[in-house]
Structures are given as structure tokens and as C-alpha cells.
A and B are shown apart, each in its own frame.
Chain A
Amino acid sequence: MSTATTEPVLSYDEALEKFDPVMGLEVHVELNTKTKMFCGCATEFGAEPNTQVCPVCLGLPGALPVVNEKAVESAIRIGLALNCEIAEWCRFARKNYFYPDMPKNFQTSQYDEPIAFNGWLDVEIPAASGDGTEVFRVEIERAHMEEDTGKSLHVGGSTGRIHGAEYSLVDYNRAGIPLIEIVTKPLRGAGERAPEVAKAYVATLRDLLRALHVSDVRMEQGSLRCDANLSLRAKAADGQAQDDVPLGTRTETKNVNSLRSVERAVRYEICRQAAILDGGDKVTQETRHWHEDTGVTTSGREKSDAEDYRYFPEPDLVPVAPARETVDELRTTLPEPPAQRRKRLQADWGYSDLEMRDVVNAGAVELIELSVEAGATPAGARKWWTGELARRANAEGKGVDEFGVTPEHVAELDRTVKDGRLNDSMARQVLDGVIAGEGSPVEVADARGLELVQDDDALEAAVDKVIEANPDVAEKVRSGKVQAAGALIGQVMKEMKGQADAGKARQIILSRLGVG
């Protein structure tokens, strides 16, 4: 299958001039329970294939599923955090389909009786005026419980891509892992901000789920996945309300597995559908696949042939009827709402509005909070996450949390700088090592022999040597031009091969020249 076929697209500005986008976002989140939804198999990520399977999740005859109580609890907490109503009584349903990623030939899900429904989540996006933020309310249709599917590996064929595959190999470790599917109502009125709103929604949801401690929410590992539905409708005529214009045909883009991709995929679909409609053709209702590398979506199977799932109530499971007291009790375990929390943290950390916005945009609020908990200074934590790591993340089109650098690493790195063991440039080298998987910051620094020279005699000797070699500069400093010391510090650092504490060097220079 070739992904190089490029379909015509309209420029974003032209697309928005002519059409109004309507989005729907479906997010699947894998819960971080120890066991699967309906059996006691472990849920470790990256285990050897088919080592976490049993008669229940393999769908062997006679095996009986039993619901994981922790998963139900997490589902209710997610529903409450999304301001949903919690069902008094609901059932599971079988979603039948013939596809080997589920060995049972059906997925146990919920159909018309979701555990949570009718909620909302406020997301903040930078204000159009460029000053402050504005809030966009995303209405939540439902959040329901289901189970994840197995993972397939496609073998053979000329290109190695799926359409050429001759057979597939399936690992059922993931089959049966508890999944919560969160579905929005159609998002209207975002206009040109639609791609940003989509990204902000997924980011806010991710932060919320992380704060609830119900999931690892690692998009790169697939524990948070987003499908983006998008349709375009004509711009309202003069005097007509936009919502009186009927909705267009939608596509469902799958495989959108990073925050940046959510924004890009929505943007691309707007431009692609606009070109089709602008040319007088019809959008095909279908599933589309997002390609991170080329930044386009390509046609998957047409939706219509997969629509008939013959849902029926799961006879092997009894209904879930959460007692109101249980729901009230779970409500008390909710974390504070993200926006409120951000305000509190900003005050605690002493960040400016601009600094906080960078932190939020980098998706680093939680990471900084954890880093500070692990002992980093707020300033240090911010510097690493929104500086060096955000720079790399932007360059590589990744999230800041996708380099294998943990909050504990950042705290350790910050400590080594504060303790005077490393200077900034050494710390950056250490970070390289951490990203390369060489270990923790201290381990990397040890292995690479990175350490500031703590030997004051050596530093003093270097200072004396540099002062002697630069009598003019030294004289300037002596006469009160303290800023001239910078040139001397640079030379001392060079003399010390970078392995000295610049602050200390400055101190010694100034005291030697009688101005310290």
C-alpha cells in the first residue's frame, strides 16, 4: 500500500472561509489496573507475547468473565471528573465482529447503557487576541467500559505493509485490558481554532486522567489513543444561524497517537474534505488512517461494512449498579479541577503568566509537579522541561515525556547543578546520556567522568594565570568596571576545560582584584 498518494487539499485559510468544521473526539484510555477487565491476567506493558492470557481472555469455551472492581471504580471516577451523571444500573454488551484481534469474536463493551453520560470538560486555549487564555467547553456524550484488543503483527507480502501481508501473528496480552472510551458530543463553533481545541481537549483530558491516577496515559505506548471524527458544512448564509446548516458527511481518523498529531490530523482533514466539497464531490463516510511521518490521512475500510455489530446484552455478566453512597464516596477522591490546580501551582512555583503558559503548552504541568515532589526546585524543573526537553521535543515532533527522562531524573539533574557538581553545559551532556539510556544523571556523570573541579587551589591558580596574562582587563575590573570580569571568567573556564564552577571563578577573580 502506498501512502505517497497525495489527495488534493485546500489551503487552511480558504477551507475555513468556505466551511465550518464539526468535530467529535473519541478517546480510549487503558486503565492502570493490575489485572484485566474480566480476568486476573496481569497487564504489564511489554511482556513476552501471550504470557498474560487465560481461558477467559482467550475466549475458551466455558470460561466465565468477572468484572474487575477497581476498573468500575476508575470508570466512575473518570465519569465524575468529567461532570457526568453516573448510571444507576447498566450492563455490558457484546459487540460482535469477526476479526482475530479478539479471540472471542466479540468485544465486551457497553452499548446503550454507558456507566457515565452527559458531562463536560472545559479546555483552555490561548486567546485569539494573544493575551491570556479563553475557555472552550467540550460536552461529553458518554464514557463507557470495554476491553482492549490483541496486537497483530503483519507478515509477508511484498512491501511488508498490511495490505500485502500474507498472514498475521497475534499477541493477546493486551486483549482484555480495561479500557474506558470517552466520546464527546459534536464540537461546534470552534471554527479555525478546531485543531487547537482538539489538541487542548486531549491534553486536558490526559492531565485529568493522570491526576486521577487511573492510567499511565502514555500516548506513545498506546495507553491513550484518540480517534478524530470530522465533517464540514457550508458556512451559514447571511442572516442564517450556523447551526441551522445541516452537518456534512464525517470521516473517522484513527491512529492519532500524539498531541501534536491530533492537531495536525484535524487540520489535514479540514483541508482535504474542503477540497472535495469545493470540487463539487461528496466526502466518503469512512475510516481514515493518520500517518505521522507524511502528515496525511489515507482511506481505511469503508465504515458502512463494519457498522452492524449486532450488539446484545452480555449474558455472562450481571449488571453494574453503583450504590449512590459509593458514588458519593468516590466523588470525595477526585483531584482538584485542572484549571484551578494550574492557578494554585503557578502561585506555589512563582512562575509568571508567560512561564506558566509555556509549561502548559509543553504539557509539563504534571511533570514539573512530580519533579518538584522529587526534590527539584521549581525554577530548575521548569528550565529542564520547557527549555532543553521542549526544544528537543519540538525538533523531533515528540512530547517532552517521550525521551525516557523521568521527573526523578530531572530532580537529580537539578540537584547536581545546585550542589555544584555540574555546570549547565555538563548537565546538558548528562541529559544526552540519560536520553541515550545510559542511566540516571548521577550514573551518567560518573560513567562519563563529568564533574566540576572542586579543587580550589587549581581554580585559584587558573585565576592568577589569567589575571597575569590580561593586565589591561584586570586593571579595568580593579577600577570598578566589574562587568569586564566576564572576559576573565571565560578564560578561566577555558583554562579549567569547562570543568569549573563559573560562579566560584567570578568570586575568586573579584576578590583577587579587590572588588569582591
Chain B
Amino acid sequence: MSSLSRDDVAHLAGLARIDLSDAELDKMVGELSVILESVAKVQQAGAEDAPPMSHPMPLTNVTRPDEVRPSLGADAALAMAPASELQRFSVPRILAED
């Protein structure tokens, strides 16, 4: 499962709406395969006795103060969307009220 084809990466890039040049595609095929192989090593660990955990670090209460930080701005935010109108993201119709 860890071998990734160039078509797979092109397909994923399409789903994620990321434009990749041919050179970038080639590079990503190699890099993503290495990542997948590394992650696959986890499957070799004997996990029978280990309790499930949701976070790799034994940290709690990581918070930030309630202070406003600059936002992206509507133009920058909407530039990433395939379609927009009235300064809002345009999406396929949805059926319930907010």
C-alpha cells in the first residue's frame, strides 16, 4: 500500500485544489512515499498492551490569551476559493438553515 503512483498524487492534488507542476508532481511522489513508509512502521509496534492515546505529548492546558490577532482579510481568504460572490464562499446548494 505504500507505493504511490504519480496518478495518485495528481488525483490527491486535484481533490485538495493544489496546482502542482510536472516537476513538483515527480518530487511529491517520492516524498509522499517516504512518509507513508515511515508511518507504516507504526503497524509493527506491539500495541496490545498500550492504552490508546490521542496526543503524543504528555501536555495539558495549552492555551493562549484572549487577544485579537490580525485576520487574513477577505481578499486573501477568498482567493483560495474556486468561486465566490458577495464576499462569501460560493458552495453547492445546501439544504438546511444555519
Residue ranges of A at the interface with B (Cβ–Cβ < 8 Å): 33-35, 39-42, 48-55, 58, 60-61, 66-72, 89, 91, 99-101, 103, 149-157, 162-163, 165-172, 254-255, 287, 289, 300-301, 312-315, 317-322
Contacts and interface: CB of A to CB of B under 8 A. Distances in A.
Interface stretch (B1-9, B43-51, B54-62): B54-62
Contact of B85 (A61, A71, A169): A169
Given A48-B74, A51-B74, A318-B59, A34 B67 contact: yes
A41 B71 contact: yes
A77 to B, nearest CB: 14
21 contacts: A35-B66, A35-B67, A35-B68, A40-B68, A40-B69, A49-B88, A50-B87, A54-B69, A55-B72, A66-B62, A70-B66, A89-B60, A100-B89, A154-B94, A162-B96, A169-B89, A172-B77, A287-B96, A289-B97, A312-B54, A318-B57
B93 A42 contact: no
Contact of A301 (B62, B68, B96): B96
Given A162-B97, A314-B54, A69 B63 contact: yes
B86 A168 contact: no
A54 B91 contact: no
B78 interface: yes
A35 B71 CA distance: 11
Given A58-B72, A58-B77, A172 B63 contact: no
Tier of interface size on chain B: 35 or more
Contact of A172 (B55, B64, B89, B93): B89
Contacts of A50: 74, 77-78, 87-89
A308 B67 CA distance: 35
A67 B87 contact: no
Contacts of B61: 318-322
A322 B92 CA distance: 42
A165 B93 contact: yes
Contacts of A41: 68-69, 71
A39 B66 CA distance: 9
Nearest to A51: B74
A178 B21 CA distance: 40
